[in-house]
Amino acid sequence: MTGAGARAALYGAALATGGAFSVLFTGETHGGLDGGFGAYSVIALGGYGAFLAMTLAAALAAAVGSAGRCRFILLPPAIVLYTLIAVYGRPPLFSLAGWRELFGRMGADVYAAGETMYVEPVPYDLAPGLFVVLIPVVMVVVAFATSATLYERSPVVSVVVLGITIGVLSTVSFEDGVGPFFAVFLACAVALLLFSGTGPRGAGTVAAAGVVVAVLLLPKAPFSEATVSPGLIDWTRIGTGGTSRLDVQADVGDYLTAGRDAELLRIRSQEPLLWRAGTLDHFDGVRWTDTTEPGLDYGEEVSEYVETESVLQSVQVLDAQTEVVFGGYRIINTSLEDAVPSSDGSWYVDRPLAEGTYYRVLSSVPQPTAAQLDGAGTDYPREVREKYLQLPESTPGIVAQRAQEIQRRYAPLTPYDKARAVERWLIYDGGFIYNLDVSYRRADRAIEEFLGEGKEGFCTQFATSMALILREMDVPTRVVYGATTGEQVDDDEYVVTGSNMHTWVEVYFPGVGWYPFDPTPGFTVPEAMQANAPRPEVPSVQQNLAPENATLRDRQLDRRQQDRPQDSPEREREAAGQSGGPGQQPPVWPLAVLPGLLVAAVPFTKRLLVARGRPEDLYRDLVGRLRDVLPPGGGTIADSPALTPTERLTLLAGAAGVEEGPFGEFALAYSGYLYSGRSGAGERRRLSGAYRRAMRAYGRLPWRRRVLGAVNPGSLVVRAARGFATARGRMLKALRRGRGAR
């Protein structure tokens, strides 16, 4: 009997896992005020939404998983009833037309959910179909995890199932929120393992508490980045909203620590621009740093012969602190009295700008023509060559290999041609994929892996690669860090969040100055910054892209809509949010995970049913295995209740084509157990030995038949139907007795 402490820990871990599913959703409904949910649905309750629905689903599943031998019979109706009530509210109990309408609506909602999962990245807006798909997943996972501890005496299985589920959620979601659920789960998992043994001892309890504290607090220690190696999983960033990053990333300070949804800046600007914060010029093989010194000349920032456009911006600092001044390149004046310009065209202040700070900047945005850039030549000042052509001695050979490959492929003649060639290769032709969830084991080999077989990353990897390859091609470059335009919330007004933090590249052209390039797939330099020399269009490009922010995706969608006829079907689909363009990376994981969970649940359930090792469990397991390797309908030969165990097993073994002798031996032993009344240890050992010999005979079947039999749910359906019929018979018998008593 599982003690109260173990049960409490098990239920706590289950509720934490269910609640963790809420990180897959935003707080906004999809398609109107009610989002398509019923008036009395759980999700429609103000202020709770996905968290309440998923937590209640986990609670109900834990209760069902604790219901003894009826647990797997109760689970399917519990899933159906709770899903209907949680999503659509009060069901039409006595209306056939109402049920028909409800199921038709569910079908349409699930179809729309499939479109949403394919097209949109996590997190999703609240939509009925998504809950119809995900609530059953929560309940199946929690019910099996609960059953594993309470009835199969396998708490380790419960911890693994629930832990992997939270791990998957933290992987697919880049939002804040998984951390608290992981902390609760970790504490409950350790408690469950302690209470499921001989009981918590003093030393064991102290050690377990120390493990929990270390896991939760060590990643936050000041020395964690230098001493904790993330390995295959970046544990230092679980639940923080950050992504696994290369150490070469141009760190944007404290901005990302507030989370991807944190609103950092509110900017009013006459033009949407890239909000530049600073530049990095020196690469040591692991990370970029800024080595410029104020007051020194490293080449002209913008030549006097280049046309410029003046853009005024008003900036309000929101949930952030910063010592750099954000604004469009090139800032020529600011209202901040203590702001000082740097040699790289950026500005900084001595004291951090705190939340609520408001300032104005005036930018003179350069507008060189393509002819000016192409004819700039290579007469670089000595200071520019020394600082912006620097490469470390440890630069991997693949950088030079890629530079030679690009030279052969595109045959660029001028530095401007080389810059556009590298940009095009990284975005379109090189086979690279935009992926926020990337982690490279060794920082000193990150670029080598990225340019080699990895070919997955986000803005940092792409900007670093372009800068290094161009330096290898003798073109001066620097990496820029700042933010993309952000979300437009009003006319000429933009909100910059953590997800908008970005890096790109600037290339130096004599007689022109520095000019921006963005080699990250799905991104481009705003039109106001490249009006006279835009990135060349590349037709018919098929690329797996995923922008870091929704605003960029919206602008790309608007641009494509303007280029199509107003009544085209493609335009109508995009207006409905159902088209995945080159600015999107279809997150296909939900469509793959759900069928995989359902398939994996079949052999997992069979294993749970035989885990107790009782004689009847072994007998049912052998019968089920033989039934499941037969063609559809082949197992009906053994359905007659008049058959003895020996007749049933030998019939099925003969039909399946396995050796009948070991199965007949087990059947005889089982019959002796049933009718002799002997249930001692010797009798159980005899049955176990016969079972192992029968399993060896079964193992001689071709592996393909055994695999198909393992995932065939036929025997489970038969057992569930018989269990339901038995329960129904008992209920009817009890009712008849009740009437007789009256």
Return the DSSP state at 326.
Answer: -
Q: Which two tokens stand for residue 323?
A: 């010592």
Radius of gyration over alpha carbons of the chain, in Å? 32
Q: What does the pLDDT look like over 483-537, one tens digit per residue?
A: 999 999 999 999 998 888 889 999 999 999 999 999 999 899 999 999 999 998 8
Exposure pattern of 104-126 as b/e (b: 16+ CB <10 Å)? ebbeebeebbebbbebbbbbbbb
How many Cα atoms within 13 Å fall on the side-chain side of residue 369?
A: 5
Q: What does the pLDDT look like over 555-597, one tens digit per residue?
A: 444 544 544 444 444 444 444 444 344 444 444 444 445 556 6
pLDDT at 561: 52
What average pLDDT score do residues 358-363 get?
96
* Residue-wise DSSP of 510-554: TTTEEEEE--STT----GGGSSSSPPPP-SS-------SSHHHHH
* Amino acid code (one letter) for 511: G
pLDDT at 401: 96
CA distances from 22 to 15, 29, 170 (A): 12, 13, 11
Q: Do 547 and 523 form a contact (C-beta atoms < 8 A)?
A: yes
Instruction: Return the minimum-mean-pLDDT range out of 207-221, 230-244, 562-576.
Output: 230-244
Q: Do 52 and 27 form a contact (C-beta atoms < 8 A)?
A: no
Q: What does the pLDDT look like over 176-193, one tens digit per residue?
A: 467 788 888 888 888 888
Q: Do 334 and 362 form a contact (C-beta atoms < 8 A)?
A: yes
Instruction: Return the minimum-mean-pLDDT range out of 124-138, 207-221, 297-311, 649-663.
Output: 207-221
* Amino acid code (one letter) for 590: P
Task: For residue 330, count other CB atoms closer than 10 A to its CB.
Answer: 19
Q: Which two tokens stand for residue 434?
A: 């935009």
The pLDDT confidence band at residue 58, using thresholds 50, 70 and 90, is very high
For residues 463 and 713, what is the distance between their CA atoms, to the nearest angstrom? 51
Which tops the pLDDT comparison, 460 or 231?
460
Q: Which two tokens stand for residue 268?
A: 């009013």
For residues 204 and 193, what is the distance between their CA atoms, to the nearest angstrom? 11
